[in-house]
Amino acid sequence: MTIKPYVTSFVLQWKIGLRYRLAVLAGLVAQMWFGAISLMAYAAVYHHAPGVDAPMTLRQAMTYTWIQQSLFTLLPLGCLPAIGEAAKSGAIVYDLLRPVDLWNWWLSASLARLLGNAIPRAVLLAAVAGPLAALVGLNGWSLAPPASLWAAILALCSFILGAFISASIVMWWNIVTARTLSPLGTYAVGTPLAVLLSGMLLPLPLYPDWARELLLFQPFAGISDIPIRLYMGMAIPGGVLTALGIQCFWLAALTLVGRFWMHRTISRMEVQGA
Amino acid sequence: MKNAAAIEVHDLRKTYQVRDGGSWRGKTREITALDGISFTVPAGEIAGFIGPNGAGKSTAIKILAGILRPTSGTVRVGNLIPWENRLAHVARIGVVFGQRTQLWWDLSVGEGLALLRDIYSVEPARFLRNRERLADALDLHGIMDQSVRQLSLGQRMRAEIAAALIHDPDVIILDEPTIGLDAPSKLAVRAFVRDLRRERGTTVLLTTHDMHDIEALADRVIVIGHGRILADSPFEALQATTLSERILEADFTGPLPDLLLPEGATETARGSRSVTITFDPQRLPAPVLVAHLSTLPGLGDLRIGRPAIEEIITRFYADHAS
């Protein structure tokens, strides 16, 4: 087996992502806007309840929000659009006609699309919310640098795992799309689920005590919440190894169960016709 | 002849479970798409597969392509069972579904071909040679850098055929490859398939609604209907019998005269100033009929054609009704 087709597929999807430069800018403006509103809300809450012992400082909440906003397009909001189109038009049969491992084939395309969308936005937003905000005197509102060099290295590993977890969840949406022959269901379910459970809407560390630990042990936490905590050097129950362990566990579980499910789906398509 | 592979199909059956009403409450019933078909296409032959919609053509094509499992029966394509050795099988075949696109909308034609090169592990030198040859034959040089979503139907179809052939498949399956094409594109596609078979000995299975495709390409014609094979004969044999019939339409400038048609011709339709005559050129050569009609007063125009494929199939049905 050769890895070449998957790499080529990745590179091509990546190029397609970069082709939509206007979408990157529009997304950036929207994310800055939502980020700024969240920041002002946090500032208001923190300043009017100085006595409360919050699990995150205001500075941490701001950094958390900036990174979440910059990684919005890394979330598994629905299936890969190309697979949705192919399911509707019937061209999905061609995917069965390729001498490739279908899981790796779709995974490389899904990962490339997530990263192709997320990385340009993340770099631009980090530049605007980090050094540029500090330069114009908005130091208190800006994106803080990583807690330490060690934290930066851990966070980088964790972000990479997070991207793979997200792509694996997209794979589950892809399988649902192949079964139902419509991409709409995955977006209807996937978008709210991902936005809520990833900590995009409200940082996971700010949930009530009873929910906080539970939320750490679901797959969406592994996409951006865990990497951000590592970046900021926040304490995680069980320590760094637990954090990375949760991510590895979910990546393995999503892959193994997903592959099995995909195999079943293909068998069913072979019996009933696509 | 090299690299060619034969197709052997024996007693192939396929039934689908269908739920009436489309919900879990509906009753399931079985639909038989293929009711025991057998045929063999020797290596290097072009076989035309014709029949009306719903006859079972698409089901047979999908089974041969390896993406559908039959209920029973055996299929061997170059000694591989398609649905059991799917990856090895699909690496050796090229498929064009005329109504669906296999190229990537967001990519240019050239990028799509490069991706296929990596999927099928085509060596770089062979890839460049094939790409050049396909671009020449299918007139793709001008559209290599265009993204697929910008192509016209004819351009896209030619690119689709190039995409199905870039890896030198031993067997190609063409499902309605000329549907919606303009005349020059149809001719280009037909010429290309003919050359391919001559140069590489590629085995070709072709389904079409266009009798001209069959006439231009097929050595053999397999007629399928109600999930069964109604006829399987060399093209010449089919031509000599069923396809031999001709239709003549004559327009008159005045009221229709008394036709007094010679033996072998029958009047099949009549308007106020036109008449349609069906005749068998074996028994009554066209020049004789034309000469006869020319003697009639007020003859304005003459057109000779052949019956549409649907009519031929309908006649097969009538002949084979069980």
Residue A271 C-alpha, separation from nearest chain B C-alpha, in angstroms: 5
pLDDT, residue A74, reads 93
The residue in chain A having the minimum alpha-carbon distance to the alpha carbon of residue B59 is A273
A264 touches chain B (CB under 8 A): no
A11 touches chain B (CB under 8 A): no
* Domain of residue B236, CATH code: 3.40.50.300
Q: In total, how many domains does chain A have?
A: 1
| DSSP code at position B20 | G
pLDDT, residue A213, reads 84
Distance CA A146, CA A160 (A): 16
A94 touches chain B (CB under 8 A): yes
Asked if residue B273 and residue B139 are part of one domain, the reply reads no
Asked if residue B257 and residue B108 are part of one domain, the reply reads no
Distance CA A115, CA A108 (A): 11
Q: Are B121 and B180 in contact (CB under 8 A)?
A: no
Distance CA B208, CA B96 (A): 12
Do B67 and A96 make contact, defined as CB atoms within 8 angstroms? yes
Q: B299-305 and B28-41: which strand pairing?
A: unpaired
pLDDT, residue B322, reads 47
Q: pLDDT truncated to tens, each residue of chain A (274 aa)?
A: 578 888 888 888 787 777 777 878 888 888 888 888 888 888 888 888 877 777 888 888 889 998 998 899 899 999 998 888 888 887 888 888 899 899 999 999 999 989 988 888 888 888 888 877 777 777 778 888 898 999 999 999 999 999 999 999 999 999 999 888 888 989 999 999 999 999 888 898 888 888 888 898 999 999 999 999 999 998 888 889 999 999 999 999 999 999 999 999 888 887 766 4
pLDDT, residue A176, reads 93
Rg (CA), chain B: 23
Asked if residue B55 and residue B172 are part of one domain, the reply reads yes
Does a structural domain hold residue B320? no
Do B86 and A96 make contact, defined as CB atoms within 8 angstroms? yes
B90 touches chain A (CB under 8 A): yes
Question: Can you spell out the DSSP letters for B17-49?
Answer: EEEGGGSTTSPEEEEEEEEEEEEEE-TT-EEEE
Mean pLDDT of B183-188: 83
User: For residue B260, with 0-12 CB atoms within 10 Å meaning exposed, 13-18 middle and 19 or more buried, which class applies?
Assistant: exposed
Asked if residue B175 and residue B275 are part of one domain, the reply reads no
The residue in chain B having the minimum alpha-carbon distance to the alpha carbon of residue A92 is B102
Could you tell me the residue range of the domain that residue A133 belongs to? 4-272
Alpha helices by DSSP H, listed for A71-136, are: 81-89, 93-96, 102-127, 133-135
Asked if residue B168 and residue B296 are part of one domain, the reply reads no
Q: List all residues 6 or more positions away from B149 whose beta carbon is below 8 Å from its beta carbon.
A: B105, B106
Degrees to nearest 5, angle at CA A37 with A34 and A39: 110
Could you tell me the residue range of the domain that residue B79 belongs to? 7-240
The residue in chain B having the minimum alpha-carbon distance to the alpha carbon of residue A9 is B115
Which positions in chain B touch A97 (Cβ < 8 Å)?
A: 65-67, 90, 93, 95, 102
Residue A61 C-alpha, separation from nearest chain B C-alpha, in angstroms: 39
Asked if residue B223 and residue B112 are part of one domain, the reply reads yes
Which positions in chain A touch B104 (Cβ < 8 Å)?
A: 12, 82
The residue in chain A having the minimum alpha-carbon distance to the alpha carbon of residue B115 is A8
B97 touches chain A (CB under 8 A): yes
| B321 pLDDT higher than 80 | no
Asked if residue B132 and residue B66 are part of one domain, the reply reads yes
For residue A200, report the phi and psi dihedrals to the nearest 5 degrees.
-70, -40
Alpha helices by DSSP H, listed for A128-238, are: 133-135, 149-180, 184-197, 209-216, 225-232
Amino acid identity of residue A92, one-letter, is I
Residue A177 C-alpha, separation from nearest chain B C-alpha, in angstroms: 18
* Domain of residue B289, CATH code: 3.30.70
For residue B81, report the phi and psi dihedrals to the nearest 5 degrees.
-90, 115
Distance CA B117, CA B128 (A): 10
Q: In total, how many domains does chain B have?
A: 2
Which positions in chain B touch A100 (Cβ < 8 Å)?
A: 87, 119
| Mean pLDDT over each residue of chain B, to the nearest integer | 85
In chain B, residues 43-72 whose CB comes closer than 8 Å to chain A: 59, 62, 65-69
Amino acid identity of residue B139, one-letter, is D
Query: For A257, what's the count of Cα atoms within 13 Å in the CB-facing half-sphere?
Result: 9
Query: For B21, what's the count of Cα atoms within 13 Å in the CB-facing half-sphere?
Result: 6
Sheet holding B72-77, edge to edge: B28-41, B7-19, B72-77
Mean pLDDT of B23-41: 82
Asked if residue B251 and residue B177 are part of one domain, the reply reads no
| B183 pLDDT higher than 80 | yes
Asked if residue B292 and residue B151 are part of one domain, the reply reads no
Q: Could you give the 3-state DSSP secondary structure of residue A137?
A: coil
Between A19-23, B77-81, B148-152, the lowest mean confidence (pLDDT) is in: A19-23
Name the nearest CA neighbour of B169 among B124, B134, B128, B200: B200
Percentage of residues of chain B with pLDDT beyond 90: 32
| B196 pLDDT higher than 50 | yes
> Looking at the partner chain, which of B91, B115, B120 has a beta carbon nearest the beta carbon of A9?
B115
Q: Are B192 and B178 in contact (CB under 8 A)?
A: no
Do B59 and A273 make contact, defined as CB atoms within 8 angstroms? yes
pLDDT, residue B25, reads 65
B146 touches chain A (CB under 8 A): no
pLDDT, residue A163, reads 96
Which positions in chain A touch B176 (Cβ < 8 Å)?
A: none
Percentage of residues of chain B with pLDDT beyond 70: 91
pLDDT, residue B2, reads 43
The residue in chain B having the minimum alpha-carbon distance to the alpha carbon of residue A1 is B121
Asked if residue B119 and residue B43 are part of one domain, the reply reads yes
> Looking at the partner chain, which of A100, A270, A273 has a beta carbon nearest the beta carbon of B16?
A273
Q: List all residues 6 or more positions away from A220 whose beta carbon is below 8 Å from its beta carbon.
A: A75, A169, A193, A194, A197, A198, A199
Q: Which residue has better confidence, B52 or A143?
A: A143
Instruction: Give B218-258 pLDDT, tens digit per residue.
Output: 999 898 888 888 888 887 787 777 667 888 999 998 888 88
Q: Which residue has better confidence, A138 or B96?
A: B96
Q: Which residue has better confidence, B35 or B236?
A: B35
Do B101 and A91 make contact, defined as CB atoms within 8 angstroms? yes
Do A93 and B67 make contact, defined as CB atoms within 8 angstroms? yes
Mean pLDDT of B60-75: 91
Which positions in chain A touch B107 (Cβ < 8 Å)?
A: 12, 16
> Looking at the partner chain, which of B99, B100, B119 has a beta carbon nearest the beta carbon of A98?
B119
Q: Which residue has better confidence, A269 or B292?
A: B292
Asked if residue B211 and residue B143 are part of one domain, the reply reads yes
pLDDT, residue B1, reads 40
Asked if residue B274 and residue B182 are part of one domain, the reply reads no
